[in-house]
Chain A
Amino acid sequence: MPESMLLAAALGALGGALAVGLVLFLRRLVLASKELGTDAEQATYQTLHLASRAAKHLRGGIDGPDAQRAGKHLRALLGADSLAIADRAGTIAIDGDDAVRQLAERLVGEVLAGGRAQVQRRIPVGAWETDAVAAPIVGRTGPVGAIVAFASPVRAGLVRATGEVADWVAAQVELGELDASRAALAEAEVRALRAQISPHFIYNSLNAIASFINTDPQKARELVLEFADFTRYSFRRHGDFTTVAEELRSIDSYLRLERARFGERLKVTLQIAPEVLSTVVPFLSIQPLVENAVRHGLESKEGGGRITIEAADSGAYAELSVEDDGVGIDPEVLAGVLAGAPAGGEHVGLRNVDARLRQVYGEEYGLVVETNLGAGTLVRMRVPKAGPRRDGRITP
């Protein structure tokens, strides 16, 4: 590139940055000079503003890493000289003059033991004296911490306000706990949704194996081993995630067992892009789709049919699809099943996988099903290659 061009580009960038800075500065000036309403309105705004900024830091719990940052806003809210926030263990974060630490420790101890707010006046701190008001932060199970406001002198207004702020902090901490338990619940839901091996399948497989024991013992033995492999994978306890390659292995075992019943009527075509083999997917998320295709698509179709399993590479995503040319599903019934309507065990595999995908990756990553009566079924899913954010435990 010629130097003049580079110079022009650099000057352009610099000019752009300056212009943006100027605009931001002017906007600030305009906003600051704007009429903000009466004094009462301003005070309300100021209070709510400080409260909402403090709330952000309190959600992690009173002993969280950010609680100290809330102290700054709460002190401004109360108009105190210094403010101390203590958790149950007595760890104290002070905003303001650090000289009051010892005093704060003593007050916090008394308040946590007594469970009641108290005001003390004229306490000497070094060369000067201060008043202090301490209030417990009461959670569901009793005091979880305390706040101590220092001012000289402490008036009745500050005493009442400190009590209110302590209650408000308790509410914020409880909201934070609620967030945490919501996340834990979501995780438990994923665990509970972990696909279950279907009892029909066990029954059918054992019957099919039994039918070979006399006629073809060698084949019966192979099928039993296949059954063992499949159940070992399905029953494993550790890890919520697996790779596409592992999932394919389990599908292979599954289809060998089904072929014992279907014979040549069950045909399979695979088209797997090698780039996606190591993609991490939820445990048992593809096998149920194949099982659905066999049980609800091909079992009731005369002459069997073909299942096509595809895994394609699509940038940062892997696209997986299972297609069968079986009897298809009534779209209305299917919509009901996916929405959670009781369907008497029909297509629960689809619903289960759909719910888990949404739970793990987000609402937009559910299954996409294209089907109609007599037109076969195509089930597609799209998962980010980077794997789930929550917990990427992969157990090979």
Chain B
Amino acid sequence: MNPAIGYIAIVAVALVSAVIGFYGLRVSRTTSDFYVASRTVRPWWNASAIGGEYLSAASFLGIAGLILLTGASALWFPIGYTAGYLMLLLFVAAPLRRSGAYTIPDFTEARLESLTARRVTSLLVIVVGWFYIVPQLQGAALTVRITTGLPSWAGSLAVAVIVAVVVAAGGMRAITFVQAFQFWLKLTALAVPVVALLLVVGAGDATAELPPVAAFPPAAGPGDLDVYRTVSLMVALLFGTLGLPHVLVRFYTNPDGAAARRTTVIVLVLLSVFYLFPTVFGFLGRAFAPDLAAPGDADALILLLPDRLVPGPLGDLLTALVIAGAFAAFLSTSSGLVVSLAGVISQDLLGGSVRGFRIAAIVSTVVPLVVALATESAGLAGSVGLVFAFTASTLCPMLILGIWWRGLTARGAISGMLTGAVLSAAAILGGGALGAAAPGLRPFLEQPAAWTAPIAMLVTVVASRFDRRGAPPGTEAYLTRLHVPERN
């Protein structure tokens, strides 16, 4: 593959994102007309922005790679990633918007009237954010290695530097526009190549390396799924979405709870459309590039397939497009996360100054960068799935109970969050060693959400019940505010 294509695509995406971030607001929103200036973001725009922020390396590269590796069982990932927004719609979107809280720690503090609970939540948000950024940087490393031939670390470093500089310099002022742009770029970057590849394949110009029976063996079909693993994965993905810090802050842009709901519905539609394309890519890969099916390399399927099936300039063009899309995915998710993390870190630790925000932005990129450089990617979709499992066992029980149960107390929330954090972190980190010792436990350690999330929920409820102090005095008023629709 011609490395120049890679360079051009990467530089172009980084430049365009930075330019929109720095100047988008100035161009689109400078006016002397108050009516124009006070127009709120339409749900369509906001939904695109949420999609742009949400679709990460795991969605763009990881799903196709996982389908190539494991076949039909990987299809649960796009289903879970999308259906998480159904949970968000049902349980969280409108009440959280009405709460007026900007971040999850803000919500915790307002609901539980406890600074300790806020601190614990902030800590968890920071951990979740860091470990969510790691797969993005690993995806960047893979992309740069495959497409330009540079060493892996160059990719992680490049993305980390771009994100840290742009965020610290205040370049995410027009964050809604940037993220919405990234979403449509990602969608185009997958949709156009898929259509082109299907045309080529349909015309019989390419020959499958494997006959369909070998590429799609019935044994690897839906009938062969492990029930526990599937259920656990769904719990993680459905409930993990509720606690993602970078997604929730986007809902603040909606003017009211009703708009938050409308936005969520549109996000569901946008994601459903988007996930068609990596799925098709994955299945094309199984038939036409089975040699890529090795752990670690499978995630590069989307980057390599266009060149294999369509040689020549058209193939180069398609490759450039998918590289641009992949970089849009790394940049948008990481910068969204860094903005939210820097907000939380600067507010809770550095007094909320502008300088504090800059320092926090750099800290929020350096830590994941170090982790990304020190570890090897074990499959992007899988790593992100584990972050979802962690979120589902920590922040999600607190959010759901905080919104829907008046009995939740600060101590209950703290004990639940800590229990969930310890259990799921132990399963995720120590799973490899323990699993080798006791193979029977393996599925439970590799997909912990199905037991850690309910235990965390249970501990929260029990600890709240036994808390002598009871729920804070303002609970009734706060819950009323969360659940009563706005008058307009």
Check A386–B106 contact: CB distance below 8 A: yes
Let me know if A113 is at the binding interface, CB within 8 A: no
Within the assembled complex, what's the spacing in Å between the Cα atoms of A270 and B140? 39
Let me know if A269 is at the binding interface, CB within 8 A: yes
Let me know if A314 is at the binding interface, CB within 8 A: yes
Chain B 335-378 per-residue mask, 1 if CB under 8 angstroms from chain A, else 0:
00001101110110001111001000000000000000011101
Let me know if A316 is at the binding interface, CB within 8 A: yes
A residues 38-85 touching B (CB-CB < 8 Å)? 65
Check B32–A277 contact: CB distance below 8 A: no
Check B487–A396 contact: CB distance below 8 A: yes
CB-nearest residue of chain A to B109: A389
Within the assembled complex, what's the spacing in Å between the Cα atoms of A327 and B39? 32
Let me know if A385 is at the binding interface, CB within 8 A: yes
Within the assembled complex, what's the spacing in Å between the Cα atoms of A275 and B33? 18
Check B354–A314 contact: CB distance below 8 A: yes
Contact residues in B for A385 (Cβ distance below 8 Å)? 102, 252
Within the assembled complex, what's the spacing in Å between the Cα atoms of A222 and B38? 21
Contact partner of A270 among B30, B110, B432, CB < 8 A?
B30
Contact residues in B for A313 (Cβ distance below 8 Å)? 172-173, 175
Check B170–A6 contact: CB distance below 8 A: no
Check B100–A273 contact: CB distance below 8 A: no
Known: A272-B38, A274-B39, A389-B110. A364 touches B433 (CB 8 A): no
Instruction: State the Cβ distance, B433 to closest chain A Cβ, in Å.
Output: 5
Check B25–A271 contact: CB distance below 8 A: yes
Most buried by A among B35, B100, B175, B486: B100
Within the assembled complex, what's the spacing in Å between the Cα atoms of A312 and B340? 16
Known: A6-B432, A249-B38, A389-B110. A314 touches B102 (CB 8 A): no
Within the assembled complex, what's the spacing in Å between the Cα atoms of A3 and B433? 7
How many residues belonging to B are interface residues under a CB distance threshold of 8 Å?
62
Within the assembled complex, what's the spacing in Å between the Cα atoms of A392 and B488? 18
Do most interface residues of chain A lie in helix, strand or loop, or is the interface mixed? Answer: mixed
CB-nearest residue of chain B to A316: B343
Instruction: State the Cβ distance, B176 to closest chain A Cβ, in Å.
Output: 6
Contact partner of B38 among A277, A317, A389, CB < 8 A?
A277
Let me know if B253 is at the binding interface, CB within 8 A: yes
A residues 339-396 touching B (CB-CB < 8 Å)? 364, 382, 384-387, 389, 392, 394, 396
Chain A 268-301 per-residue mask, 1 if CB under 8 angstroms from chain B, else 0:
1111111101101000000000000000000000
Known: A269-B32, A389-B109. A315 touches B430 (CB 8 A): no
Check A270–B346 contact: CB distance below 8 A: no
A residues 311-327 touching B (CB-CB < 8 Å)? 312-317
Query: Can you report 16 residue pairs joining A to B where beta carbons are below 8 Å apart?
Result: A1-B376, A3-B433, A6-B431, A10-B433, A13-B429, A269-B32, A271-B26, A272-B37, A273-B25, A274-B41, A274-B253, A275-B41, A275-B175, A316-B344, A316-B352, A386-B103
In the complex, given contacts A5-B374, A7-B432, what are 16 additional A-B residue pairs having Cβ atoms less than 8 angstroms apart? A6-B433, A10-B426, A252-B34, A255-B34, A271-B37, A273-B174, A277-B40, A312-B25, A314-B173, A315-B340, A315-B342, A316-B343, A384-B102, A386-B101, A386-B102, A396-B488
Interface, chain B (partner A; CB < 8 A): 25-26, 29-41, 100-103, 106, 109-110, 170, 172-176, 252-256, 339-340, 342-344, 346-347, 351-354, 357, 374-376, 378, 426, 429-433, 436, 469-470, 481, 486-488
Q: Which 4 A-B pairs have the closest CB atoms?
A: A3-B432, A316-B343, A315-B343, A252-B34
